A and B are shown apart, each in its own frame.
Chain A
Amino acid sequence: MASFIKAHDVSLVFKAKDREPVTALTNFSLDIAQGEFVSIVGPSGCGKSTFLNIVLGLIEPASGVIQLNGTRISGPGQERAMVFQEFGLLPWRSVTANVELGLELKGVPSAKRAARATELINLVGLKGFENHYPHELSGGMKQRVGLARALATEPEVLLMDEPFAALDAQTRDLMQTELLQIWERSKKTVLFVTHSIEEAAYLSDRVIVMTARPGRTKDVIQIDLPRPRDYEMRLTPKFNDIKLRIWEVLREELTSRG
């Protein structure tokens, strides 16, 4: 398998003043193929979000190799975009202006930005809300804006940090299905961090289970469910078997911490 994103022996220690240094990741390795949908699950504080920020280029690892398409990642870049758990929308900007943010920062001319924003707003189902402000939107709609903003820059890698964790259960189910539809059409590489075993199993090609801090790969579970997947698939015995397998691996990590 040719690896598109390659992490090898990545370690990171957080040093804060007046505190014990915290080892967030030790010798964490992961290879992701182009177009693959990979989820990371693990106990709270295991460093999975930290890893996402390393791939994004906001944090530099203390040691180890982190590459995208054979080139070392040394900062944020055009090919990667993040969808944040708490949305991260600018409250003083309309939906359109928020979706245009990434393009604006990359210096795309305004006519082109507007056209691209309209396209993405339609894709995520927010037509008619172009001039609304974030405080006028529901959580689900806010995250649609977050997704549109990330997709607008046409990244090859979509990084998603518990993107649906702040949403209610029904909205969450809906957003998962829509994300799958968008992903199946665009075939972007997705690295998805979540606490939900069900979400990881439903969306992913592979699920990485991480150990408790300091985070390492505990197990990798291949999800060999056919695609396209739909909601009904989540009611099959096979789906439940997969969930159970992930749970059994994860449980050891949760109980070992008390």
Chain B
Amino acid sequence: MAAQAFFTEHRRLWLALCSVFFLVASWELVLTYVFPVDPFFFTKPSLIATAFREQLQGSKLWHDLAVSSQAFIWGFAFAVIVGIPVGLVMGWRRRVEYSLDPFLTALYASPLVALAPLFIIVFGVGVLGKAALVFLLAVFPFIFNTFAGVKSTDALLINVIRSFGGNEKDLYLKVILPSTIPYIVAGARLAIGRGLVGIIVGEFYAASEGIGFAISQAGDTYRLPDMFVGIIILSLIAIILTELMRRLELTVAPWRASDEVR
């Protein structure tokens, strides 16, 4: 019975592990015994694992990661620096909201990656062009979530600050910003995914290094296991960053976490 209790308690983890294992094993077995496809056209987990090991030992992967990270970090940092203040002012100042609304609605609804060629022309093939693309994709989740956070600020708390003689700056710093932070962190989660898309599209389109370039080059030359290594590494990065943001969300707003129904 102790074993059963153990499985019930940790079922979330072991069920997840089981299903991943099942998928990988079936992929391997099907491609080995049922449809033995030429590895030139499709690949299987054992070949990917070998490629993974080789790449981890080489230096190219690390170089590509460094190049892509640099562009991502710059673009993302500027998205934070621009997105949060714009969202705050937009949420609090009706006139700013109405003035910016048409642009934001249009840009948020459009597939912004369509602007990739333009950005590469204007900002070049290097870090700057990719960072600009990351910025473009990541800034909107920050603006919109910050905006939504400001809109949901408790009017009572605004009155509390005013009743003690607080001015406009006090309202921003002591109520609006703190109550918006959980929304901003949730926005950051979305922005991470979109920012990674920005990197990859930028590097697919025009680049000579970086993780996106490595994926596209491996694909172009039919090195499918190497291509999957790039894809898996990207997924891992996305998972780790998103999970970090989820943790951060709980840390910055414990009063909200306690409201959540588990």
Contacts and interface: CB of A to CB of B under 8 A. Distances in A.
Nearest to A90: B157
For chain B, the bracket of interface size reads 20 to 34
A56 B163 contact: yes
Contacts of B156: 84, 86, 88
B208 interface: no
B165 A58 contact: no
A106 B254 CA distance: 28
B253 A76 contact: no
Contacts of A84: 156, 159-160
B39 interface: no
Nearest to B256: A91
Given A58-B163, A92-B253, A105-B165, A135 B178 contact: no
A125 interface: no
Interface in A87-123: 88, 90-92, 101-102, 104-106
Contacts of B174: 90, 101, 104-105
Contacts, number: 58
A217 B174 CA distance: 38
B165 A77 contact: yes
Interface in B149-195: 156-157, 159-166, 170, 174-175, 178-179, 181
A58 B155 CA distance: 13
B254 A135 contact: yes
A244 to B, nearest CB: 35
Contacts of B164: 76, 81, 101-102, 105-106, 153
Interface string B220-262: 0000000000000000000000000000000001110011000
A101 B165 CA distance: 11
A90 B165 contact: no
Interface in B124-161: 156-157, 159-161
Contact of B255 (A57, A58, A135): A135
A253 to B, nearest CB: 28
Interface in B68-93: none
A83 B255 CA distance: 22
Interface residues of chain B: helix, strand, loop or mixed (majority): helix
B163 A82 contact: yes
A133 interface: yes
Contacts of B175: 90
Counting contact residues on chain A (CB < 8 A from B), the size range is: 20 to 34
Interface in A37-86: 56-58, 75-78, 81-82, 84, 86
A163 interface: no
A215 interface: no
B248 to A, nearest CB: 14
A1 B179 CA distance: 46
A106 B253 CA distance: 27
A77 B175 CA distance: 20
B254 A105 contact: no
A133 B178 CA distance: 14
A88 B162 CA distance: 12
Contacts of A135: 254-255, 258-259
A88 B159 CA distance: 9
A3 to B, nearest CB: 23
A78 B156 CA distance: 19
23 contacts: A56-B163, A75-B165, A76-B162, A76-B164, A81-B164, A82-B163, A84-B159, A86-B156, A88-B156, A90-B157, A90-B174, A91-B179, A101-B161, A105-B161, A105-B164, A105-B170, A105-B174, A106-B164, A133-B254, A133-B255, A135-B254, A135-B258, A135-B259
List the 10 closest A-B pairs by CB distance, nearest first: A91-B255, A135-B255, A88-B160, A102-B164, A105-B164, A105-B166, A92-B178, A76-B165, A88-B156, A82-B163
Given A88-B160, A90-B174, 13 more contacts: A58-B159, A75-B165, A78-B165, A81-B164, A82-B163, A88-B156, A91-B179, A101-B174, A104-B174, A105-B164, A133-B255, A134-B255, A153-B164
